[in-house]
Structure 1
């Protein structure tokens, strides 16, 4: 029955036309598949031929090296070739099994492990510069040495330690944007009035302002003192906190005051007290990787490389150095021992420098010399004025006479 149906389909004209269409399409598909298979076979043949050439070369090299088996070098080369030959055979087997060679991933390993070592940066000549500053500050005759926060508390209050610590904090709050001479005078008035947290709370704002005047921003500091005294009486019994986090929360207390209070009042080194002098000199000496305009950023940069045992000393060293030699305007670079190793030397010095005297003297510059030299300059200016010829201006009568002649 099946054979009869099949013969009917072949002899029928309708089925014969469809079969021709199918055969034509199938022929096209068969041609494409045959071409693709031929290409893949050619590729495989090329790969196998190249691998066969490599194997033949390696076998020829092995046969050449067999003559030199007696020498140790020949044995080593033979061992390398023997280990390389199974690798080639395995590659050939992988090609025959998979048809195409898989791409191998090259794995690279870093020498020395994955941990990266960060280099510790520090200024090149900082030890030499610090030694020169210590030599110039050996006499300790700067204003900060006699009128700083360490000298402003009442010596009679040593028995009451909490009062001494409170006075240290008050002197630090008054010293902001104020010279040490003015701060010391204000602290003398406060100590005579009674410089305790309880006493300041009972003092009205007008009286307290007269006591601390003329410190910088004295009106704001009156408010800060009253608010800080209230917090200390409420939470600490008139004493000050013993950590930087709580000190900074007090009104009018910044990071510089907090670190100095920890050092002076509590005898604990928590950080470097960076004021305007320390900030300026650190930038001038090149003690920062990148110059900045923020004292807090300067403090963090210094603490990254400066040894911790120098944190307490660096403040009073640089403050006194900035008050006497490295002035904010017109620094006395010609009298500084760091003038040959400072990157900022003689860049902002005055045009007419003061007379260079002995570098080992206690005070680098005295007010007497400055006065005498300024007096000499004024005398020279007056003599020059007398020597210059005076230009006589025409009188008004001559001008009128000329105008009349013109008319």
Structure 2
């Protein structure tokens, strides 16, 4: 093939970068013409590195064809000056679009890896313990209470709710009698409750008999328990509810037991333990409430038995919930009395924070009508003293003889003589 010469000499070819803008959708090459350069040698050497083919004939033909086509399309273009370098954009062969060209810009970027945050472990620092709170020396105090209650001779041991039902009755009747004994024990001593239950059992302590008994007869049977009139009404309403909703038996859950008239949380938990043999909570009465506060078994003092129950259940092990009521009730009936507790014979006198302290006496408020006015008491005392002094003077005056004048004495003597 003969050598092809061009009017302009091609020095080198620089490929331009592919642009992602819509204005630059095709790849182009920049052809730079510089005078004084050898076209064949430089072009062949450049293209020989990129493509392993013979570059001289084909490149020269392509350059000539492209120049002819450009000159035909732009006839009015200005002639190239011979004194400087001119750059000419030359279209390269169009390449088909690949999948990389059609992907969005964000897909060309490297995907971010998910970072895993890890914290350095402080080997020298010990972890903070978040154990539950419990009172100090409570195990030792509990063992002392068990030792003091070893004889089992308190009223609750012989006349409590566990001893008040008829052992020979059917199961549902025994459970009903346990519930009745718990309802009667509120604000009442165990001795009075046991006597009332004995009379009820002789009369027939079943749901049907309670409903068929009039209020007057039922009141005579439960008298003298505390609030016996109110408890008679509760017994009637509870019996009717048990017959209608539970078939004459008592409920088997605390939620349903509390719905019964006259049944509170303490009675419900004790009924679940005694009647159904299920530990659902701690039965807290006045004795358990008082002794728990005295021993310091609560994180902060409580005001009622329900608050005491919740506070005890937070830390006391569940296997002790059934035993704690029996222990503390008998301990409160014999030693830890409400007034003047026997701290001198208690084994916990050295660890109990309330040991050897007098029980607070109930005093009327300063502005209550029962509280006497100190000034009025003084007035009453002074008036009573004055009245008593006046009475004493009167009695003395009456006892002393009245003085008689001498003339009066002579007249009396004359009258006597005349008679």
TM-score, shorter chain, exceeding 0.5: yes
Once the two structures are superposed, residues 307-364 of structure 1 have per-residue CA deviations (whole angstroms, 9 ceiling, x without a partner) of 00000000010000000000011111111111111000011269xxxxxxxxxxxxxx
CA contact (8 A) 1:332 1:349 kept: no
The reply on whether 1:221 has 2:231 as its aligned counterpart is: yes
Cα distance in 2 for residues equivalent to 1:234 and 1:199: 15
The reply on whether 1:130 has 2:139 as its aligned counterpart is: no
> Per-residue deviation at 1:156?
2.0
User: Which of 201, 217, 232 pairs up with 2:242?
Assistant: 232
Cα distance in 2 for residues equivalent to 1:187 and 1:326: 27
Match of 2:315 in 1: 305
CA contact (8 A) 1:333 1:349 kept: no
The reply on whether 1:332 has 2:339 as its aligned counterpart is: no
> Per-residue deviation at 1:128?
0.8
Cα distance in 2 for residues equivalent to 1:116 and 1:238: 54
CA contact (8 A) 2:199 2:222 kept: yes
> Per-residue deviation at 1:189?
0.5
Q: Which has the higher contact order (CA 8 A, sep 6+)?
A: 1
> Per-residue deviation at 1:235?
1.1
Which structure has the greater CA radius of gyration? 2
Cα distance in 2 for residues equivalent to 1:123 and 1:404: 83
Match of 1:143 in 2: 155
CA distance 1:191–1:344, shift in 2 (3 Å): same
Q: Secondary structure at the match of 2:162?
A: coil
CA distance 1:256–1:401, shift in 2 (3 Å): closer
Cα distance in 2 for residues equivalent to 1:399 and 1:132: 72
CA distance 1:237–1:333, shift in 2 (3 Å): same
CA contact (8 A) 1:167 1:196 kept: yes
CA contact (8 A) 2:343 2:356 kept: yes
* Superposition map of 1:100-115 within 5 A: none
Cα distance in 1 for residues equivalent to 2:129 and 2:137: 23
Match of 2:273 in 1: 263
> Per-residue deviation at 1:119?
3.1
CA distance 1:322–1:403, shift in 2 (3 Å): farther
Q: Secondary structure at the match of 1:269?
A: coil
> Per-residue deviation at 1:294?
1.3
CA contact (8 A) 1:189 1:212 kept: yes
User: Which of 103, 120, 131 pairs up with 2:132?
Assistant: 120
> Per-residue deviation at 1:291?
0.4
User: Which of 165, 168, 173 pairs up with 2:183?
Assistant: 173
Q: Secondary structure at the match of 1:155?
A: coil
Cα distance in 2 for residues equivalent to 1:116 and 1:203: 64
Cα distance in 2 for residues equivalent to 1:109 and 1:294: 49
Give structure 1 stretches of 5+ with no counterpart.
Answer: 1-107, 351-392
* Superposition map of 1:37-48 within 5 A: none
Cα distance in 2 for residues equivalent to 1:137 and 1:309: 19
> Per-residue deviation at 1:404?
8.8
Q: Secondary structure at the match of 1:339?
A: coil
Cα distance in 2 for residues equivalent to 1:401 and 1:163: 79
RMSD: 2.6
> Per-residue deviation at 1:155?
2.0
Cα distance in 2 for residues equivalent to 1:146 and 1:296: 26
Once the two structures are superposed, residues 207-255 of structure 1 have per-residue CA deviations (whole angstroms, 9 ceiling, x without a partner) of 0000000101111100100000001111111100011000000000000
Corresponding residue pairs, total: 253
The reply on whether 1:189 has 2:199 as its aligned counterpart is: yes
CA distance 1:275–1:109, shift in 2 (3 Å): farther
> Per-residue deviation at 1:116?
7.8
> Per-residue deviation at 1:109?
9.1
Q: Secondary structure at the match of 2:229?
A: helix
* Superposition map of 1:266-281 within 5 A: 266-281=276-291
TM-score, with length taken from structure 2: 0.57
> Per-residue deviation at 1:397?
6.2
Q: Secondary structure at the match of 1:314?
A: helix
The reply on whether 1:207 has 2:217 as its aligned counterpart is: yes
CA distance 1:328–1:109, shift in 2 (3 Å): farther
Match of 1:155 in 2: 167
> Larger helix proportion, structure 1 or 2?
1
